[in-house]
Amino acid sequence: MKKILQGVDILLMGLISISILLAVALVITMPVMLVPVLLLMVLVSIAIWLNARRIRRMIAKVLRSPNNEEATQYGMMTLPIPVVILSGKNIIWYNDIFRKEVLNDNDVCLQPINKIFPGMDLQKCAGTSGQDMEREGKRYTVFGSMAREKESLYVAYFVENTQLKRKAVEYEASRPSCMIIEVDTYDEILRELKESERATLIGEINRLLEDFVVKTNGFLNRVSASRYIAMVEERHMKEIVNTRFDLLDKARQIGDGKVAVTLSIGVGRGGKTLMDCQKMAAQALDMALGRGGDQAAVKTNEGFTFYGGVSRSVEKRSKVRSRIVAAALTDLVHQSDSVLIMGHKASDLDAIGAAVGVLRICRICQKPAAIVVKKRESLAENLIDEMIQAGYEDDFLLPEQVLDSITPQTLLIIVDTHLPYLLESREVYQACKNVVVIDHHRKCVGFIDNAVITYHEPYASSTCELMSEILQYVPTEDKDKLTPLEAQALLAGITLDTRTFALHTGVRTFEAAAYLRRMGAETQEVKKLFSSSFAAYEWKSRLVTEAGLYLGCAVVATSGLPAEMAVVVPQAANDLLGIDGVQASFVAVEMNGQVNISARSLGEVNVQLIMEQLGGGGHLTMAGGQLKNDTAEHARELILAAITQYRENEKKERQSTGTKPNKQDA
């Protein structure tokens, strides 16, 4: 068939070419015939145009005739679905139902199929799921197969399923999404208000949430004093996500600046049942609260997505949870035959200080315990050396020294991190069945989820602050009280993470420091733990001078730093914040086959969100990460790209809320 059509095409083209040549020759030899020849050609063109429809119908009748051997051979004329046969990509035959339902009684023989169905791909049609196509409001799934490979004949079947697809779209759009909304630190917000002011504030919050949900066809219920649950359809959830949860910004405007109202929102989307959506929403809310609140976390089958998180965590003044955790932790230690304490890789003063606090609890409970740490890789080597000189040498062990002593009753207490890949030793963690997590960093995806106790408070300045509160609720005798050296270790951790009580501090931070001071901590001795050598100061100065400014962020990426000088990386990041115009700093150093990144800010930039793009995490003002098998130059490119993305998202959020842009947005 294809060869026949090609022969006809060649014959027609030959006849047309000969006619044109004869006409040109006649005009050249007899110029006076120009007008008659042109007139004749116009008349012929009009005749062909007027008879084109008739000719096409005649061709279609011949090609589609039931008496045609090709058509009857395939037996497709009487099929109840539209069928078309293609030669290459040209239509050469179709049955009556295709002509009637698809073509509306028109004939399109010898025309390309893409003219009728733009975008039709014969390879996709040959797949098991076919290809979805649409024409004049009707939707089809097209299936096809090769009829004769030598002649390039292709048979396509059009299954009309308009109603089915419309119902499928409506089904997806009407799927329920669950939202759990919590007013952050509800009690703390209302504590200082008068009764009338409290009622007004609660009314404003209720009105805001009701107006938010009334725009959808969902519902909102208040399930407790500070928690609400809402169900909305997926079509409206897409709109809410597109606005990047502007509800969070509207909540901050409540109270006329007298109080700080923030919301945490957990969303469950794509669950098979209502119960699945509710569970996903609860998990998402835990993530939002664990990351400091004032944000929305959306949980789908693909993972978590976060929106907001631009403000600082609001401090919780109640210490009820500290007392509960202290009692539970003490019971667990009593039930264990030994305790291991472990922090994160490249442990700092906060990790080691908190570990020392846990060690004191184990001594109060008279249980053998040890701190698992790689001293040579630690950033708190000064503190470890001082502890060893004071007689704590047997309390600091390497991971390989404790693996053989782990039993089913060994308790592992993890401090200053909640991510498995950041642990000092993944092997020790996997060998222990009973795990406790105590951390203050904002929660990240992939957290330790098998802990018996998880004390995770992102409002706290440091893990040492949390441990100082826990120690105050552990029953003890005078001989077992915190020693001055241990108190100094805890105070050093608080001093480090608050940058000498300048950032991320609250009332409870100073209360914890006051308790440690009463236990004998000397501030001048703590200061000595931060001292460094002349060589370290020289390297820190070199890092600072190599920094460049990009969108309000100081960025430096380099290599060649000795491993023993790793402590200067966060110090350089802190020093860069003292430069005018620097809102955040990023120091990346290539060492031992990987790039270590320290990020710091004064609160205007959320470095946690930026570092999460690079696989790291931390706090709004303090974060970090590691890039394995990478180079400093590539790390710089990744950091700049992450800063650019953060600034673009920040600009979009400002535009959606109508707030003034940053200088860096220009």
Segment 14-73, tens digit of pLDDT: 556 666 676 676 667 777 666 776 676 666 666 555 554 554 554 455 445 545 445 444
H/E segment holding residue 657: helix 632-657
Q: Report the C-alpha gap between 595 and 638 in whole angstroms.
A: 12
Where residue 493 falls among pLDDT bands split at 50, 70, 90? very high
Q: Report the C-alpha gap between 336 and 117 in whole angstroms.
A: 72
For 410, the 3-state DSSP assignment is: strand
Residue 11, burial from CB neighbour count under 10 angstroms (0-12, 13-18, 19+): exposed
Query: Tens of pLDDT along 168-190?
Result: 989 999 999 999 999 987 877 77
Share of the chain above pLDDT 90, in %: 48
Do 48 and 78 contact (CB within 8 A), yes or no? no
Angle subtended by helix axes 463-472 and 320-335, to nearest 10? 80
Both tokens assigned to 181? 């909304």
Scanning the structure block, which residue is given the tokens 């805890």?
Answer: 490
Q: Report the C-alpha gap between 243 and 280 in whole angstroms.
A: 21
**Which residues in 622-655 are b (16+ Cβ under 10 Å) and which e?**
bbbbbbeebebeebbebbbebbeebbeebeebee
**pLDDT value at residue 480:** 85
Per the model's pLDDT, the better-predicted residue between 515 and 506 turns out to be: 515
| Whether pLDDT at 126 is above 50 | yes
**CB-based contacts of 441, cutoff 8 Å, min separation 6:** 416, 417, 418, 458, 617, 618, 619
Mean pLDDT computed over 503-529: 91
Mean pLDDT computed over 380-393: 93
**pLDDT value at residue 153:** 80
H/E segment holding residue 213: helix 195-214
Mean pLDDT computed over 591-613: 88
For the chain, the distance separating the N- and C-terminal CA atoms, rounded to the nearest angstrom, is 65
Mean pLDDT computed over 449-462: 90
Both tokens assigned to 173? 């759009």
Query: Tens of pLDDT along 279-307?
Result: 999 999 998 888 878 889 999 988 888 88
Q: Report the C-alpha gap between 429 and 613 in whole angstroms.
A: 26
Do 594 and 636 contact (CB within 8 A), yes or no? no
Closest alpha carbon to 555 in 571, 572, 540: 572
Where residue 573 falls among pLDDT bands split at 50, 70, 90? very high
Mean pLDDT computed over 447-466: 91
Where residue 423 falls among pLDDT bands split at 50, 70, 90? very high
Per the model's pLDDT, the better-predicted residue between 454 and 153 turns out to be: 454
Share of the chain above pLDDT 70, in %: 85
**pLDDT value at residue 399:** 95
Q: Report the C-alpha gap between 57 and 465 in whole angstroms.
A: 88
| Whether pLDDT at 421 is above 80 | yes
Pairing of strands 83-87, 153-160: antiparallel
Closest alpha carbon to 188 in 239, 120, 261: 261
Q: Report the C-alpha gap between 417 and 439 in whole angstroms.
A: 5
How many helices and strands, by DSSP H and E, does the chain display? 25, 23
**pLDDT value at residue 57:** 55
| Whether pLDDT at 634 is above 70 | yes
Query: Tens of pLDDT along 522-568?
Result: 999 999 888 878 888 899 999 999 999 999 999 999 998 887 788 88
HSE of 525, CA atoms in CB hemisphere, 13 A: 16
Backbone angles phi, psi at 578, to 5 degrees: -80, 0
**pLDDT value at residue 27:** 66
**pLDDT value at residue 3:** 47
**pLDDT value at residue 612:** 87
Do 458 and 440 contact (CB within 8 A), yes or no? yes
Query: Tens of pLDDT along 304-357?
Result: 888 886 555 555 656 788 999 999 999 999 999 999 999 998 899 999 999 999
Closest alpha carbon to 63 in 111, 114, 122: 111
**CB-based contacts of 440, cutoff 8 Å, min separation 6:** 416, 456, 457, 458, 459, 460, 461, 462, 463, 465, 466, 497, 619
Per the model's pLDDT, the better-predicted residue between 313 and 439 turns out to be: 439
Q: Report the C-alpha gap between 607 and 623 in whole angstroms.
A: 6
Q: In this structure, is the dihedral angle defined by the CA atoms of residues 108, 114, 116 and 121, taken in order, positive or negative?
A: positive
**pLDDT value at residue 142:** 94
For 415, the 3-state DSSP assignment is: strand
